[in-house]
Amino acid sequence: MLYKKTETAQELLEIQALQTENLPKQLNEETKLQQGFVTVQHSFEQLEAMHKIHPHCIAVDRGKVIGYTLSMSASFRNDIAVLKPMFDHIDQSAYGTARYMVMGQVCIHKEYRGQGVFRKLYQTMQTNFQQEYDHIITEIDSCNQRSLNAHKAIGFEEVLRYPHGTQTWVIVSLAL
């Protein structure tokens, strides 16, 4: 298994394919509860723009992307509508003036879950960004218990919860 930053358009396309497989509309209720899901579907152009500022961290096995963490600068705060409230809440919290980056999404191919890929991807992010930032911040749908538990297990701490529409979001932070 190789853990590294994205370098090619093909890697971004493989991230996009893995993301599409794990959107709620692709999964039944049992799978969403047991395995989790991703909320946002990024366009190739969004993934590429994010990559140009901070390459994403990926896990590659046999030449194929099997896991990723998206690296998102706060400069994207207005580019993805579902994330605007998160940035507003971060601004109003103690983290509003902190040096932070947003982990825009994490996803592991179903055949690789439970094998430490999640933890290693975050370790790769920490190594790559600890000189620039003090925290990695992300938000998780409160219904996504698998993701909440996984983030807590590697040291993320809850910052706050807020309702938006029919969902409750949990903002979490990992000190670097």
The answer to whether residues 122 and 56 touch, using CB atoms and an 8 Å cutoff, is no
pLDDT tens for the chain, residues 1 to 176: 999 999 999 999 999 999 999 999 999 999 998 898 898 899 999 999 999 999 999 999 999 999 999 999 889 999 888 889 999 999 999 999 999 999 989 999 999 999 999 999 999 999 999 999 999 999 999 999 989 999 999 999 999 999 998 999 999 999 99
CATH of 2-175, one of 3.40.630.30, 1.10.357.10, 3.40.50.300, 3.55.40.20: 3.40.630.30
d(CA 65, CA 57): 10
Residue 88 CA, chain-centre distance (Å), reads 18
The answer to whether residues 104 and 40 touch, using CB atoms and an 8 Å cutoff, is yes
Give Cβ neighbours of residue 25 (< 8 Å, ≥ 6 apart).
none
Domain ranges of the chain: 2-175
